[in-house]
Amino acid sequence: MNDSIQRRPPFLDRVRARLNVGARPDTATAAGIARRLASRTAFVRWPPDAGADLMLHSDPDVSAALAAFPRLKELLAPPAGTR
């Protein structure tokens, strides 16, 4: 995971304080909630594509998929010896 996802999201802390939420989610859940809140904020504050762009650029699954693209032929090839 990249460094921005691993540290505690300040936006989520502000939302929790304002809504008086006492539950503490685990790190991965907190990062996901923070990404979704930030995405919704971007959708409301900036043009519609800003929220989608933010989610795509900060989603660890999308990052992993993009990193796999250079190996796509290898990943989709049949197992060795089955040709």
User: Could you tell me the pTM of the whole model?
Assistant: 0.46
Structure tokens belonging to residue 50: 């800003």
Positive or negative torsion for Cα 17, 22, 27, 28? negative
Please tell me the predicted confidence (pLDDT) of residue 70: 93
Instruction: Give backbone dihedrals phi and psi of 2, rounded to 5 degrees, phi first.
Output: -80, 165
pLDDT along the chain (83 residues), means of 10: 52 79 82 81 78 80 90 89 73
